[in-house]
Amino acid sequence: MKIISYNVNGIRAALKKGFIEWLQAANPDVVCIQETKAHKEQLDLSLFEEAGYPFHYWFSAQKKGYSSVAILSKIKPKHIEYGTGIDTMDFEGRNLRIDFDDFSVMSLYLPSGTNDARLEFKLNYMAEFQQYVNNLKKEIPNIIICGDYNICHTEIDIHNPKGLKNTSGFLPVEREWIDSFIKSGFIDSFRYLNKEPHHYSWWSYRANARNNNKGWRIDYNMVSEAMKDRIKRAYILPEAKHSDHCPIVVEID
């Protein structure tokens, strides 16, 4: 099974840039989308169905044009979980999970900490999310949490670790959290199979950053340790350019 995670930075904008044609060519079984910035009433859902994804689920922020996640699937899940049940997290539409017979897939959009108030919100979200996942894994040990975590884990995951050490997304407190999250029972599927530097999933729109590959790896397909032996491939698709992010892929047996 091929699973793709993609922060599209606005699904309506991505559609105008050829997202559907790319999706059909990439041909994943499941696509976890973040930052759709749309409610499903604002979309022509037949586009996704005609592309081969009859099962599509949308969890949107209360605020229009903001945040929001979705999952497209070729395979019908047995259950869909909208949100976490935690009010402080769910009003921004950041978590959506589908359950299959022997594993689950979540689309996650962790907040960014662009200013002091949002950093405080992000840190609180991270703490609540960790507790939520700890409890969830007791019920669902086989889970893949795909998405934009808005954090680079180690120095190899960012183009300028020294210059950006005080920037949100690479703060020590954020890096410590994602390190502890992984140690709580997850595998960073890309790093598990790829140790080389200069692989990123997000680039600033400024200063020609993408063409110069001055990027950040902030998108992850985190696979629970119980599924370690089922990870077959993990890779990044930087040539897909519908967003300031690019898609990331994990293939599961």
DSSP state of 229: G
Structure tokens, 28: 């994943």
Average pLDDT, the chain: 98
> What is the pLDDT at residue 60?
98
User: Rounded to whole angstroms, how far apart are CA atoms 181 and 115?
Assistant: 23
> What is the pLDDT at residue 150?
98
Taking a C-beta distance cutoff of 8 angstroms, is the pair 47, 20 a contact? yes
> What is the pLDDT at residue 164?
97
Amino acid at 242: H
> What is the pLDDT at residue 224?
98
Per-residue pLDDT, averaged over 25-34, amounts to: 98
106 forms beta bridges with 97, 145
Expressed as residue numbers, the domain containing 97 is 2-252
User: Rounded to whole angstroms, how far apart are CA atoms 237 and 18?
Assistant: 15
Q: What is the pLDDT of residues 49-102, one digit of tens each?
A: 999 999 999 999 999 999 999 999 999 999 999 999 999 899 999 999 999 999
The number of folded domains in the chain is: 1
User: Rounded to whole angstroms, how far apart are CA atoms 35 and 58?
Assistant: 11
DSSP state of 203: E
The catalytic position among 148, 157, 188, 219 is 148
> What is the pLDDT at residue 219?
99
3-state secondary structure of 7: strand
CATH of the domain at 144: 3.60.10.10
179 as an active site residue: the answer is no
Of 237, 238, 236, 147, the C-alpha closest to 186 is: 147
> What is the pLDDT at residue 159?
98
43 forms beta bridges with none
User: Rounded to whole angstroms, how far apart are CA atoms 120 and 141?
Assistant: 30
Least confident of 19-23, 85-89, 198-202: 85-89
> What is the pLDDT at residue 20?
98
Per-residue pLDDT, averaged over 13-17, amounts to: 98
Binned at pLDDT 50, 70 and 90, residue 245 comes out as very high
Amino acid at 100: F
The pTM assigned to this predicted structure is 0.98
> What is the pLDDT at residue 244?
98
Binned at pLDDT 50, 70 and 90, residue 235 comes out as very high
Share of the chain residues as helix, strand and coil, in percent rounded to the nearest 5: 30, 25, 45
> What is the pLDDT at residue 76?
98
Q: What is the pLDDT of residues 134-177, one digit of tens each?
A: 999 999 999 999 999 999 999 999 999 999 999 999 999 999 99
On the 0-12 / 13-18 / 19+ scale of CB atoms within 10 A, 138 is: exposed
Question: To the nearest 10°, the Cα dihedral for 150, 20, 2, 80?
Answer: 70
